Structure 1
Amino acid sequence: MTSVQQQAIPSILGGKDTLVKSQTGSGKTLTYALPILHSLMMQVPRVQRSDGVLALVVVPTRELALQSYQWFEKLHKSCVWVVPGYLIGGEKKKAEKARLRRGINILVGTPGRLIDHLHSTRSLSLASVRFLVIDEADRLLDMGYERSITSIIETLHEQQPGAISSRQTIMLSATLSAGVEKLAGMSLVEPKVVDVSCEDSTESQLTSEALATPANLSHHYLLVPAKLRLVTLAAFILSKCKCGDERKMIIFFATQDMVDYHTALFSKVLSRYGQEVKSKTSLLRRAEKVLAGEEDDGEGSHDEEDVEEEEEEEEELEQGKSRERPDVILFQKLHGSMTQQDRSAVFKSFKDAAAGVLMCTDVASRGLDMPKVRWIVQFSAACTAADYVHRVGRTARVNALGSALVFLAPAEAPYIQMLESHKITLKEINMQGVLRNLMLPLDPNSRKPVANTMEEAATKLQLQIEKLLLSDSGFRDLARKAYVSFVRSYASYPKEVREMFNFKALHLGHYAKSMGLRDSPAALGAGAAFRAKKEMKERREKKEKKRKIQVMNQRCGNLPKTASMSEFDSGLDSMPKNKTKTKTKKKIK
């Protein structure tokens, strides 16, 4: 068992309300799943479907709900009479209502869907709930579910009057913010606090929040000029999925359009790189020598050792002894605009795969357990240190090894100091060392390298992508959408990191190049988003200034005519009154 399981499970089995704080990937799901199933399995008389919901688990995302449900599915085989189920958005409500009518004992759901069924489904009752689990509490609050969680807790109080002491509540979170503590005060009664975030971990502090990353997770950064971002990412993917054993990675992007474009592009382009490649070929050795200056520019100079190595490798290829690699790197995508059916299929496919690349937005940054993921790549940097920690938590799970890499432009280097100020130590990866992987054979049946130098290989790949966009309108449209969405997301970085990610210092033309586009930023409408935002701000300020002037006039009594005019007034200026002399009648004596 993991440290958090060793400390929290006895408390939960003892019937105490428990607040668990632990870094991502520490086995928090089993921490509450095992005690709940044990308690329900030992219940006498035996649990039946007709008993209704006995355990309610609230999670922030659909994928995490499915993952938690699958854990209960695996564990309940020893007590098949305990029925787990789930409620998530994107599924057919009619089918969910039917499952609820048949009976569910352990219900896992997202807040929005649970509230929907509580208001519209008579067969869903919380009167029998014995266990309430709030998983990823900090993420629930970040996503704006505070009101929904409060509503669920109030519904429990209404349907279980006076049963607060008999209901056990378990709250789990990677961080303990003020919002989490407030939620804990609302739902927990004299809780047992289990904090294992500092054990076997690297702890960092962000304002009042304590963050932690596993000790077996190594952090890296890569400083890349804007023009070389795309080819460097391609080279890094090749280095891990073709030349190395770390063949499973997750890449985070800022927007859904960026995910769509890069998934389609790399599925088309990188599938042509290498079919059977050794982990350390003479080609890569030669590239290392070029880097070290031991060879010239590479126009055909081979020493006898290289020739012998190539002859040996050719013999191995003929005899089928070479190390085989998959013909195509499997690229998959995951973001919030996909249908629930597609999201579930991708989640299951990538989870079961031995190798592949998942390109996603922050929808996959919390709670999801993806086995054997060795690398987390942040092509778009996270807005905060907390978001960074949650992203990298998809690797190095349950004592496994893992690595994280963040792509940064040279002007964004202060981001490194920001992370290091929170005691997250990063090591630099040399860009040239990554780019040498582009010298792999382009044609699977060819032994010839793509180019003699890394610069030539990078240029060839860049031109190949640009030509693809020129010849294929579908790819071109995807690239344009990705570029515009990138510009908008870059302009929306929060104030805390805006100095590091300065939109005004952004070279829009170079970033268009990094998408494979030859159009000018003006033609792509890159500045339109920023200009629209600026104009909206100016209109808002002008409107606010006008309102303040009106308030001052009202206070001084200088109201405009329209503000003081009666609805019965003709609107014409009033005529001045004539002064009439009143004749005084003389008294008759």
Structure 2
Amino acid sequence: LVNAATGTGKTLAYLAPIVHLLQGYDQRIQRSDGTFALVLVPTRELCMQVYEILQKLLHRFHWIVPGYIMGGESRSKEKARLRKGISILVATPGRLLDHLKHTKSFMHTNLRWIIFDEADRILELGYGKDIEEILDCLGSRKHEPEGSSTFVQVKRQNLLLSATLNEKVNELANISLENPVLIGLDDKRASQNLNPSRFSHEEDGTVDGLKRGDESGNAPPMEEYRFPTQLVQRFIKVPCGSRLVVLLSVLRHLFEKEASQKVVVFFSTCDSVDFHYSLLDEFHSTCTPSSETEKQKFFRCRTLRLHGKMNQEDRKTTFQSFRTENSALLLSTDVSARGLDFPKVRCIIQYDPPGEATEYVHRVGRTARLDDKGYSLLFLQPAEVDYLVDLKTHGVTLTEYPILKILNNFVQLNSQNHHPQNTPRFLSMDVHPWLLTLQRALESFI
């Protein structure tokens, strides 16, 4: 069971050792030997990302064949690839179970590793029964004698990886792990978040800590989340009627401040993503009196969208486009919140707060990856400010975003004299001239 903060390289941490061990066999593996390692992921985008990383790792080891199977792809083409043989297979649970039941040529007798990447999310998406069936189909090596296969000389190893620990991880551990080693967990955090009865001593400092937590009789305290030190986390309190114009203002400020950057905005529903995409992709008003700039886009960057109701080809195109763009805005549901590594994402905006604090962690984990600087901004309505208290119980403290200062700067830039001392400072969003002008422009556009 592996726990590590977002953006710390968990994918390489499990893929690299697998590749190292497979390429080190005295007798080279062949496609006809079937699948040796299986990586289960919750979403199609993460499936593609892990597969692409795997391709790069295997560049020098051409005899080790990577592959993927996932929903939205052609089953017949996947069957053909499985028939030829895939050494390391990346899959989503539903499609994997389908092939285990109906693709007789899918050879997995040499299976040595099963990896559950973003383990808690796999169960949150309703794959619990699928996972049980998958494990039943694959069987157990608990009583298999060593050396029963040409290649597999040790029992199968199951790995669970997640940036957060919660009841879902515990549930999946109960299904798939036996006497696991805990990696990236200290005694205190393990005892707070995992069921002690499921774990026995494998490494110094694992079981004793678990037992101490179990015998205390007290309710376990909340898990404290870990974030990169270079991540700046802020919130903004916005009345319901001003949310859209404030979002537009923040985005404009970000792209004017730094033209070449990527921003991800999270919404709670697919319909909300579609609505805001239609608006932001077409909105041309600049809220200035100049006729020259009237037809320019509100901010100059490419706008993309990603959610679960899009067809597979569009999802794949968006995923690849956002990764390669130097400057882009991605509007997304939580389908982008887990595991995806978009290079150089500077800012994460949570327009709709997530339902659970764990999702907050995964959303902001799309920025500040591998020592890059990053920023996150959480939108809250006045009635939602208690959400900050909930985050604080997990060790997350947010500072307030200086929105009025930014709005006043817009007024100054659009004033005729451009002298800061002659520009009034407004203390409320309710009657702020910039927001009122932008609101009228939006209403006219819609």
Q: TM > 0.5 between the two?
A: yes
How far off its partner does 1:465 sit?
A: 1.4
2: CA distance, partners of 1:358 / 1:434: 22
1: CA distance, partners of 2:299 / 2:248: 16
2: CA distance, partners of 1:438 / 1:124: 61
2:354 match: secondary structure: coil
Give the one of 161, 170, 179 matched to 2:159: 170
2:89 is the alignment partner of 1:107: yes
2: CA distance, partners of 1:238 / 1:135: 36
Give the one of 173, 195, 200 matched to 2:184: 195
Is the Cα–Cα contact under 8 Å of residues 441 and 448 in structure 1 kept in the other structure?
Answer: yes
Q: Deviations over 1:500-550 (max 9, x none)?
A: xxxxxxxxxxxxxxxxxxxxxxxxxxxxxxxxxxxxxxxxxxxxxxxxxxx
In the other structure, the counterpart of 2:439 is 462
Amino acid at match of 2:256: K
In the other structure, the counterpart of 2:72 is 90
2: CA distance, partners of 1:179 / 1:101: 34
Is the Cα–Cα contact under 8 Å of residues 273 and 440 in structure 1 kept in the other structure?
Answer: no
- Distance of aligned partners of 1:177 and 1:230 in 2 relative to their CA distance in 1, 3 Å threshold: closer
1:171 match: secondary structure: strand
1: CA distance, partners of 2:260 / 2:97: 42
How far off its partner does 1:74 sit?
A: 0.9
How far off its partner does 1:98 sit?
A: 1.5
How far off its partner does 1:327 sit?
A: 7.7
2: CA distance, partners of 1:91 / 1:75: 24
Give the one of 82, 107, 117 matched to 1:135: 117
Percentage of pairs with the same residue: 40
1: CA distance, partners of 2:51 / 2:436: 48
Q: Which entry has the higher C-alpha Rg, 1 or 2?
A: 1
1: CA distance, partners of 2:65 / 2:442: 51
In the other structure, the counterpart of 2:204 is none
2: CA distance, partners of 1:171 / 1:92: 28
In the other structure, the counterpart of 2:18 is 36
1: CA distance, partners of 2:10 / 2:266: 23
In the other structure, the counterpart of 1:219 is 233
1:78 match: secondary structure: coil
Q: Deviations over 1:407-449 (max 9, x none)?
A: 112232222222123211110012212324645989xxx9999
Amino acid at match of 2:383: A
Amino acid at match of 1:360: S
1: CA distance, partners of 2:369 / 2:386: 28
2:247 is the alignment partner of 1:233: yes
1:366-515 alignment to 2 at 5 Å? 366-436=338-408, 438-439=410-411, 455-469=432-446
Amino acid at match of 1:225: P
Give the one of 318, 322, 326 matched to 1:350: 322
Is the Cα–Cα contact under 8 Å of residues 353 and 379 in structure 2 kept in the other structure?
Answer: yes
- Distance of aligned partners of 1:427 and 1:353 in 2 relative to their CA distance in 1, 3 Å threshold: same
1:214 match: secondary structure: coil
How far off its partner does 1:207 sit?
A: 5.6
Amino acid at match of 2:227: T
In the other structure, the counterpart of 2:108 is 126
| Count of residue correspondences | 393
- Distance of aligned partners of 1:466 and 1:326 in 2 relative to their CA distance in 1, 3 Å threshold: closer
2: CA distance, partners of 1:25 / 1:197: 20
Amino acid at match of 1:396: A
Give the one of 301, 309, 318 matched to 1:337: 309
1:179-328 alignment to 2 at 5 Å? 179-195=168-184, 209-244=223-258, 247-269=261-283, 273=286, 328=300
1: CA distance, partners of 2:104 / 2:409: 60
Q: Deviations over 1:546-582 (max 9, x none)?
A: xxxxxxxxxxxxxxxxxxxxxxxxxxxxxxxxxxxxx
2:93 is the alignment partner of 1:116: no
Is the Cα–Cα contact under 8 Å of residues 97 and 121 in structure 1 kept in the other structure?
Answer: yes
Is the Cα–Cα contact under 8 Å of residues 253 and 360 in structure 1 kept in the other structure?
Answer: yes
Is the Cα–Cα contact under 8 Å of residues 223 and 431 in structure 1 kept in the other structure?
Answer: no
Is the Cα–Cα contact under 8 Å of residues 24 and 213 in structure 1 kept in the other structure?
Answer: yes
Is the Cα–Cα contact under 8 Å of residues 251 and 376 in structure 1 kept in the other structure?
Answer: yes
Is the Cα–Cα contact under 8 Å of residues 22 and 197 in structure 1 kept in the other structure?
Answer: no
Is the Cα–Cα contact under 8 Å of residues 119 and 169 in structure 2 kept in the other structure?
Answer: yes
TM-score (norm 2): 0.81
Q: Which moved more, 1:232-241 or 1:153-162?
A: 153-162
Name structure 1 gaps, 5 residues minimum: 1-18, 275-282, 284-324, 470-589
2: CA distance, partners of 1:326 / 1:80: 49
How far off its partner does 1:208 sit?
A: 5.7
- Distance of aligned partners of 1:415 and 1:184 in 2 relative to their CA distance in 1, 3 Å threshold: closer
1:194 match: secondary structure: coil
Is the Cα–Cα contact under 8 Å of residues 123 and 172 in structure 2 kept in the other structure?
Answer: no
TM-score (norm 1): 0.62
Name structure 2 gaps, 5 residues minimum: 147-153, 194-218, 289-296, 427-431
In the other structure, the counterpart of 1:3 is none
1: CA distance, partners of 2:280 / 2:412: 16
In the other structure, the counterpart of 1:53 is 35
Q: RMSD across aligned C-alpha pairs, in angstroms? A: 3.1
1: CA distance, partners of 2:186 / 2:259: 30
Amino acid at match of 1:412: E
Please identify which structure carries the higher helix content: 1
Is the Cα–Cα contact under 8 Å of residues 224 and 431 in structure 1 kept in the other structure?
Answer: no
2:314 match: secondary structure: helix
In the other structure, the counterpart of 2:2 is 20
1:463 match: secondary structure: helix
Is the Cα–Cα contact under 8 Å of residues 206 and 385 in structure 1 kept in the other structure?
Answer: no
